[in-house]
Each structure stands twice: as structure tokens, then as C-alpha cells.
Structure 1
């Protein structure tokens, strides 16, 4: 699977998850959307998202890796990096 296709697939899964789990309006979920400021996710939501990334990538996400995550693009970059480690 190409890196671009992989990224689009991961992006779609993350979008679906945010909409279903947190009732985030789909049109707000853009690569540059800030998880806290624009999508209103809190620290508990971030933990849930970290668990979901583990499901998507099949790799454990360390808290230190997730600490610097601010935007959807950051989430995608981390997910791609983890997926590539597979």
C-alpha cells in the first residue's frame, strides 16, 4: 500500500472514530485542526484516541510520543510512523 493511500486510510479511520466516539462534526476534522482548541478533546479523550491509534497501527503508543500531539496532522504523522514500524 502506498504511503499516500495509507495516510488517507488512517485519516478516514480517525475521522470516523472522532465522529462516533466524541460527536465531533466531520467538517471540523481537517489536518490542521487543533485537538483541544477546535475539536474540544480533553485529556481523557486523548487517551481514548491513543488507544484507537494502537488499534489502527497494531503498535503501542507511548505517552511520551503522544505528548507533543496537537493537531490531526500530528496524529496522522505518528500513526504513519508507527504503522511503518510494522
Structure 2
């Protein structure tokens, strides 16, 4: 799966499932501050990622993940 497909899938479920405004989505968007995702949202996000990409995420995977670009890269790494 290429990065464009990963980005598209993630962006779509952020909009559909987390009600993030499409204009707020950019690679440099801060997950907590800009997208306003809280700890419960992160749990739901992990479930959505696992369902959509068939990968397993753990807490340590999120160390250093601050922006949406960091998150895209994390998923890309896990899929490779």
C-alpha cells in the first residue's frame, strides 16, 4: 500500500468517524491541539487503524507522534 492510499484512508476516517473538519487536515496538523483528539479518541483511532489496515498498534508506537505526518509515517512503517 503506497503512502497516498494510507493518507487518503486516514484522512477519510478522521473526517467521517472523528468529525475533523477537512480544512484542519494537513501533514503539519498537531493531533491533540489542531485536530482536538483526546485520549479516548486515540483509543478509537487505534481501533480504526487496526480494522482498516490489519496492523497492531501499542502505546510505544506513539512515542514521538505529534503531527498527522508523524502518524502517516507510523502507519507506513508498520505496513512495511
Structure 1: 5+ residue stretches without partners? none
Name the CA distance, whole Å, in 2 between partners of 1:43 and 1:15. 19
* Deviation beyond 3 Å, 4+ runs, structure 1: none
Greater RCO (CA < 8 Å, at least 6 residues apart): 2
CA-based RMSD of the aligned residues comes to 1.3
What TM-score does the superposition give when structure 1 sets the normalisation length? 0.84
What TM-score does the superposition give when structure 2 sets the normalisation length? 0.89
Number of residue pairs matched?
80
Structure 2: 5+ residue stretches without partners? none
2:43 is the alignment partner of 1:40? no
